[in-house]
Amino acid sequence: MVRVWLELVKPRITVASTVTTAVGYVVYRGRFDLAMLPVLLGILLQACGAAALNQVQDSVLDTRMGRTAGRPIPAGRITRRGALLGALVLLIAGTALSWLAYGPVPAVLGLAAAAVYNGIYTPLKRVTPFAALPGALVGALPPAAGWAAAGGHLADPTIHEIAFFFFLWQMPHFWLLLLHYEKDYVAAGLPSLFDRFDRRQIGRLTFVWIAAVAVASLLMPLFSLFESALPRYLVAAAGLAVVLRALVLLRPVAAAGGQAAAPLGRVYKLRFMEINTFVLLVCAALVADRLA
């Protein structure tokens, strides 16, 4: 049962939300301390609850896609009712923990992320290929929750820049997955960008968003971030490398299938790993700069 719940709560995604929460907290407070633990655990529990609830919502769709058919609900390892009850418990526990420790703002921000993910993005992806745009707000809210828990005001432009950076990152993150798992989206009958654009056009769109993520990181010194020279130049160099590596998305490509499918899959998977690694590097640089 432990393994089932680990699959339901999507640890890679939920841990990422916890990391960005820590970034928001440390950037404002300027240090790690025990007082940050409740907000980290609160956001983690809320994110786990949202992830499990998403699998309840998508359980029928998951049976149509090869990469999701083995998930706990479609595979029959847990009932939809059991997963739903567990998801609600996690959401309530995480919200209560953050609220009791810091008041309503961090708790509501974490709950808002779940509301966007489960109440806006998940239903919208069944009707429009652009559901990821409002869904990207999920990436912007956890760092704001950490910032608020540390005592920061949400009107501060510094947290707006941090949240905006994580918002932008969500788009190439999602669209690279779409490029890599095109057949699964088609099999599930979900609307996708392939209904409106060809592969080369989607590659161009993804490149633009990757470049936007890199540019957003360059703007951070204007918001009193990266005051030390080393993290500033490190992030700039890494952003340039990510953009240069993403130029491959602008090249003409053959339609997916046959011998072209495997090379294209590797291209998209590598770009996916690179943009995520870049974001982790920015997180580390933001924290290191504040601790220096």
For residue 92, the SS3 value is helix
- Alpha-carbon distance of 201 to 203, in angstroms, equals 5
Work out the number of other CB atoms within 10 angstroms of the CB of residue 108.
Answer: 17
Q: Domain 1-155 belongs to what topology?
A: Tetracycline Repressor; domain 2 (1.10.357)
Query: Rounded to two decimals, what is the model's pTM?
Result: 0.93
pLDDT at residue 251, rounded to an integer? 84
pLDDT at residue 64, rounded to an integer? 84
Q: Sign of the CA dihedral 245, 249, 254, 257? A: positive
Annotated domain spans of the chain: 1-155, 156-292
For residue 9, the SS3 value is coil
pLDDT at residue 252, rounded to an integer? 67
pLDDT tens per residue across all 292 residues of the chain: 889 999 999 999 999 999 999 999 999 999 999 999 999 999 999 999 999 999 999 999 888 887 888 999 999 999 999 999 999 999 999 999 999 999 999 999 999 999 999 999 999 999 999 999 999 999 999 999 999 999 999 999 999 999 999 999 999 999 998 888 877 777 777 888 888 898 899 999 999 999 999 999 999 999 999 988 999 999 999 999 999 999 999 986 644 444 445 577 889 999 999 999 999 999 999 999 999 8
DSSP string across 103-133: -HHHHHHHHHHHIIIIIIIHHHTTT-TTTHH
